[in-house]
Amino acid sequence: MKNYELVLHRVEADLAAGRLRLGGRLPGERSLAEQLGISRPSVREAVRVLEAMGIVRTATGSGPEAGAVIVAEPAAPLTALLRLHLATDHLPMGDIVQTRVLLESWTAREAARQVGGSDPASGGLETAEELLERMDAPELSPEEFHLLDAEFHVALSALAGNVLIAAVMSSLRTAIHGYVLAAVPNLADWDATAVGLRAEHRSIVGAIRSGEGDQAAALITAHIEGFYRAAQLR
């Protein structure tokens, strides 16, 4: 085991045992180095890894003895991980599309089961509906539209209440954002595409609202697969 990995294992064990808690601080650099018998640069490398993994946050200027604050933010590091592996070209885009279809058809079905038939003014669909209204603005650039679109899909996924699936979904969506934008010129007619996407979004929300889970799952599957086909994303 490399020296910086000693720190990761120690932090994992301390978290699991409740000796470290959210909002608390890691011991300072010198203290960790002494306790584990390793150099301070090795501790610093480990803290960077923990930071990249969304376990701690370090403030600039607070000094190495202030200790990094424990946070729990899995979505950003998962995004970074997926982006890097997408870039290596050993993670095919087709597998990502298939994964999105699997996760999002499940979350749409679950959302329909949980919020279906509820009062239109409640149930958590408001965020998604508000995003649809913002996507109606005709002056949006493809980039602005896709950012709202991504937020809309993430909002739907969150309705199912599974933090892991929501984090994976959100990371997938963010990780492929650049690829989606780069593919916009492949679309024959962006304005026509946007009209179609808006209508599809509304029918998905309608199916969830009325509790038709199978229908919502089928619509979101066709929506995702249709866009990747039209944009020739590979």
The binding site for a copy of itself (CB under 8 A) comprises 2, 4, 8, 11-13, 15-16, 22, 41, 44-46, 48-50, 52-55, 60, 70, 72, 74, 77-78, 80-81, 83-92, 95-96, 98-99, 102-103, 106, 162-165, 168
Name the minimum Å distance from CB 98 to a copy of itself.
6
Q: Specify the residue, 56 or 135, whose C-beta has the smaller distance to a copy of itself.
A: 56
To the nearest whole angstrom, how small is the minimum distance from the Cβ of residue 16 to a copy of itself? Answer: 4
- Going by C-alpha positions, the residue among 40, 16, 20, 44 that lies closest to residue 30 is 40
R_g (Cα) of the chain, nearest Å: 21
* Minimum distance of a copy of itself from residue 165's CB (angstroms): 6
Residue closer to a copy of itself by CB (options 92, 117) is 92
Quote the least distance from Cβ 52 to a copy of itself, whole Å. 4
Count of CB atoms within 10 A of residue 104's CB? 26
* Least spacing, CB of residue 160 vs a copy of itself, in Å: 9
Nearest CB to a copy of itself, comparing residues 7 and 207: 7
Closer to a copy of itself by Cβ: residue 90 or 121 = 90
